Chains A and B, each alone.
Chain A
Amino acid sequence: MGEAGVSNPFREDLVSRNLAEACSVVIFGATGDLTHRKLIPALYNLAVDGELPAGVRILGFARRDWSDEFFREGLEKLNKEVSRTGHDDEIWASLAGNIEYHQSEFQDEDGYRRLAEKLDEIDRERGGKGNRLFYIASAPEYFDDILLNLKKAGLSQDRPDCGSCWSRVIVEKPFGTTLATAQHLNEVVNGTFQEKETYRIDHYLGKETAQNIMVLRFANAIFEPMWNKEHIDHVQITCAEHLGMEGGRGGYYDKAGALRDMVQNHLLQLLSLVAMEPPTDLSADGVRDEKVKVIRSLRQWDTPELVAENVIRGQYVAGNVNGDEVPGYREEDRVDPESETEAYVALRCMIDTWRWSGVPFYVRMGKRLPKKATEISIHFKETPSVLFNATPGGVPSGNVLVMRIQPDEGISLMMNSKLPGTTLRMEPVKMDFHYASSFGKSSPEAYERLLLDAMAGDATLFARRDEVEEAWRFIDKIHNAWEEKGKKIPIAEFPAGSWGPREADELLARDGRTWRRL
């Protein structure tokens, strides 16, 4: 054997990350949009970059009666449209030769038995270790069936006959709709796969700028000493979308709402990355241990009074976005005309830890806002008003550090500067770093990074069971308060194309603050 007794001596040192291992990737819900627009292009781009392990085989599992050829043609067509690196026929041919379609109902046990046979055949042919990665990208109502049938077919267990081989599962969101359903799903998942082989995907964590939060905080000596209640006044996390319920998404959204669809997962994950303590190491559990402490430390808004005081829910009424007339939420396709589902939510979160005591984290998410933007802004405390009290205009404002997650990824810092002239006047100026300007090369898509991590057994960028459940515990209490009989909390309204309801502005105004203008 080669250096250090590793099984593949040529692997070590070539990449500074865990090694992705060859495996069979089985995608449930393979005829869907996620597979066509995200998963296959991600695997293709990994092949283009030479990152995809040799011997990866892809099996699409779905109900429709498609042939291998028809399945591949559809994937190729979409890949040509959406692939980050364009489409190279030769690389595609090499990848497509390893893609097959497996037709079966999700509830049909025989389909899983045939799948097991097919996977065994692939392993024999490849002579590989028999690693399997199951990606559940189907509609959520099939999650239980798929997991239980995988178990029945013996596909979820580590197999004694194949040594160090593994079986892993990636579960797409939504991971439950309440704490109870998430706990149930976790029971089913953990009854099928070990927790260490379970990867609950939150694609926000795969975004370059989300990963950069830890780098910014812990690789730059200037920020961490100030990252606490002594220096930070408050934090804002905004996820704005200009789209409404186009493409039939109203059916799903009207059951979920902004709080469950976005805040429970993506925004609480961002919040935990901003607020967590430095982890002891960068291992999956090292990072996730610290993140879950943040979510566990969120002050619970568990009575209708507290919820009314700290959470604003809203719906848009007809308005104008980007010059187009758009309908109100209740007039949208597949939305109940009497719906009480929130298309906008703003929260005032308090993290009861030593570091963050008294520092509010304002989180807002809304549909049909003026533009698409996700960002985190750290608002530092103002300087003591002694030196520049007498200057015309005074000191304009405190420093703001902004981390833009999407689009136009980057970081900016607002600071005060003297205006040129003979008098002492100050204006805020902006130091701005744009990923696109500084690094012309496009970043890998979130799914590329996450798929590779799952093949490498690195769960750092995936949510752990306790994180998911703690987040649901926080969200459920708000929902329960909204639904409590006799204490109706009103739904605020705002015209589509505006920055949300007046009540959300008042949420901050009560604390003497305003939302950042994006």
Chain B
Amino acid sequence: MSAVISTEGLGMPVEVGAIDGQLKKLWEADEASTNASLMNFLVYTEDPSRLQRNSETIQELTREHACRAVLIAMDREASEAKVEAWITAHCHLAHGKKSICSEQISFLLHGKSLGRLRNTVFAHLNSDLPLVFWWQGELSDLFEERLYRLLNRLIFDSSTWSDPKTGFCRLIEAREDTKGQMVTQDLSWTRSYFYRLAVARLFDDPMAQKSFPDIETVRVKAQSEHRTGALLMAAWVIRRSGWKVQSRQGNHWKLQSKEGKEITLELIWDEEGAPIAELLIAAPDCSVRISREAGNRHLCQSICANDHCVDFSGPADSDQPEGLVASQLSRGGKNSLFLQVLPQFMELLESGN
């Protein structure tokens, strides 16, 4: 038997077969609220203890993203196969006036059964609305073709994967299976969004542009847990610069520009700093540095040329997965830039010592 799981806050327990009827009653009983939904938002975890926290996350997310939320936790260790379900609604005052509500259905699936996750998903979607699937943790064997063919958008966090190489290979395979229809969004990539924006801003400066061909060093400081995020950001720099990965020695990579110039990429672990703590792009006459202290909501951006530095402050990405998911949902799109940097990222990941 698994550990006791808190289900407080998941709402009213219901029979699985009665979910639709109970939801209808819920809305009939409340004439003052508006049920709004732009998508089916599914959160899946194989850690049942997260169910409660995921419900709290939905409470926050639905402030800006009205949806039908379906939370599924799978207790794969349970010996007896059964399903428990709850329904609730998260309501918020829109612009201080109208109460806008999103409905939430939570499932706790006990026991291992390949088809049950898929069927539970199929049975409880709002028709026609897109399906956004937040897969928490490793892509297990339940991440299978008949499930992922249904998804419009898959959100995951590669920083939580024990074997990123295998995980990304599965992901690439799944994308090919779906003929690129499934949009993939890695929260580790989202973590560097404002870093990338800051690099682009700083390289608007003519001095930085002039020094671009002379770049010698790229340095990324990050927590070791956020290795994939750091490498994805480095892969973006490489991709945009038109460089090639030549070789690797530990956390140092040799890169080469189109003109044949050698550039060093260095990855430094900084466990006390922010998840991604620094990105430095340096040429002899000019350097661009973006950094962030742990817990700070801002990025420090500076450009130094000829001993003269100009500093700016800008927004930083959230540290919490919930905040990153909210940002992703707001930005939408096909996330094609992420796909473009995957080849460089895989090269960094795979290049031998």
List chain A positions with a Cβ less than 8 A from chain B.
1-3, 7-14, 16, 21-22, 47-50, 53-55, 88, 90-91, 93-94, 126-129, 434, 436-441
Check if A9 sits within 8 Å of B301, measured CB to CB: no
**Which residues from chain A contact B100 at a C-beta distance below 8 Å?**
436-437, 440
14 A-B interface contacts by CB (under 8 A): A1-B212, A2-B241, A8-B209, A9-B212, A9-B242, A11-B204, A54-B202, A54-B303, A90-B313, A91-B313, A436-B100, A438-B36, A439-B38, A440-B100
Given A1-B212, A54-B301 in contact, is the A437-B204 Cβ separation under 8 Å?
no
Determine whether the beta carbon of B64 is less than 8 Å from that of A440.
yes
Nearest A residue to B67 via CB reads A438
Q: Which residues of B contact A7 (CB under 8 A)?
A: 209
DSSP class of B's interface residues: helix, strand, loop or mixed? Answer: mixed
Given A50-B314, A54-B312, A91-B298, the answer on whether A441 and B66 have CB atoms closer than 8 Å is no
A404 CB, nearest partner CB in chain B, Å? 14
Bound complex: CA A127 to CA B312 (Å): 16
Question: B58 CB to closest chain A CB, in angstroms?
Answer: 13
- Among B36, B92, B205, the residue within 8 A (CB) of A54 is B205
Residues of A within 8 A of B239 (CB): 3
B313 touches A93 (CB 8 A): yes
Mark out the residues of chain B between 48 and 107 whose CB falls within 8 Å of any chain A CB in the assembled complex: 62-66, 92, 94-95, 98, 100
Closest Cβ–Cβ distance, residue A31 to chain B (whole Å)? 27
Inter-chain contact A127/B203, CB cutoff 8 Å: no
Distance in Å: Cβ of B288 to nearest Cβ of chain A: 10
- A90, B299: Cα distance in complex, Å: 10
The answer to whether B204 and A3 have CB atoms under 8 Å apart is no
Which residues of A are found within 8 Å of B297, using beta-carbon distances? 88, 90
- Cβ contact within 8 Å between B200 and A10: yes
| Residue of chain B at shortest CB distance from A98 | B312
The chain B residue with its CB closest to the CB of A407 is B95
**Interface members, chain B 182-238 (any A CB < 8 Å):** 194, 196-207, 209, 212-213, 237
CA distance A49 to B340 in the complex (A): 24
Q: Is the CB of B205 within 8 A of A2?
A: no
* Pairwise interchain contact A12-B240, C-beta atoms closer than 8 A: yes
Q: B95–A11 contact, CB under 8 A? A: no
Q: Which of B36, B66, B240, B337 contacts A3 (CB 8 A)?
A: B240
- Complex CA distance for A323 and B321, rounded to whole angstroms: 49
- Is B315 engaged at the interface, CB distance under 8 Å to the other chain? yes
Report B305-345 residues with CB < 8 Å from chain A CB.
Answer: 305, 310-315, 330, 333, 336-337, 340
Most buried by A among B98, B196, B305, B313: B313
Chain B residues close to A by CB (< 8 Å): 34, 36, 38, 62-66, 92, 94-95, 98, 100, 194, 196-207, 209, 212-213, 237, 239-242, 297-298, 301, 303, 305, 310-315, 330, 333, 336-337, 340
Given contacts A11-B204, A50-B315, A440-B94, contact A2 B64 (CB under 8 A): no
Determine if B204 and A1 form an interchain contact, defined as CB atoms under 8 angstroms apart: no
- Nearest-CB distance from A227 to chain B (Å)? 24
Residue contact A127 to B206, C-beta cutoff 8 Å: yes
Cβ contact within 8 Å between B207 and A127: yes
Taking the nearest CB of chain B, how far is it from the CB of A209, in angstroms? 15
Q: How far is the CB of A351 from chain B (nearest CB, A)?
A: 35
Chain A residues closer than 8 Å to B194, beta-carbon distance? 50
A9, B209: Cα distance in complex, Å: 9
CB within 8 Å for A440 and B200 given contacts A22-B205, A94-B313: no
| Contact residues in A for B340 (Cβ distance below 8 Å) | 13
- Expressed in whole angstroms, the minimum distance between the Cβ of A172 and any Cβ of chain B is 27
Q: Which A residues are CB-close (under 8 A) to B301?
A: 54
- A-chain residues with CB within 8 Å of residue B305 when the two chains form the complex: 127
Question: What is the minimal beta-carbon distance from A19 to any residue of chain B, in angstroms?
Answer: 8
In the complex, how many angstroms separate the beta carbon of A231 from the nearest chain B beta carbon?
Answer: 25
- How distant is the Cα of A441 from the Cα of B310 in the complex, in angstroms? 32
9 additional contacts (CB under 8 A) given A10-B203, A13-B340, A88-B297: A1-B213, A3-B241, A8-B200, A53-B201, A54-B201, A90-B313, A127-B205, A127-B207, A440-B66
Q: How far is the CA of A94 from the CA of B198 in the complex (A)?
A: 14
Q: Is the CB of A440 within 8 A of B65?
A: yes
Contact B206 A129 (CB under 8 A): yes
Chain A, residue nearest B243 (CB): A2
Q: CB distance B240 to A2 under 8 Å?
A: yes
Contacts of A127 in B (CB 8 A): 205-207, 305
Closest A-B pairs by Cβ, 4 of them: A440-B64, A94-B313, A10-B200, A54-B201
One of A14, A55, A94, A438 near B66 (C-beta < 8 A): A438
User: In the complex, which residues of chain B have a beta carbon less than 8 angstroms from the beta carbon of A53?
Assistant: 201, 204
Residue of B nearest to A55 (CB): B205
Residues of A within 8 A of B242 (CB): 1-3, 9
Interface centre among A12, A90, A126 (most CB of B within 10 A): A90
Point out the residues of chain A lying under 8 angstroms from B92, CB to CB. 440
Complex: A90 Cα to B315 Cα, angstroms? 10
A437 touches B201 (CB 8 A): no
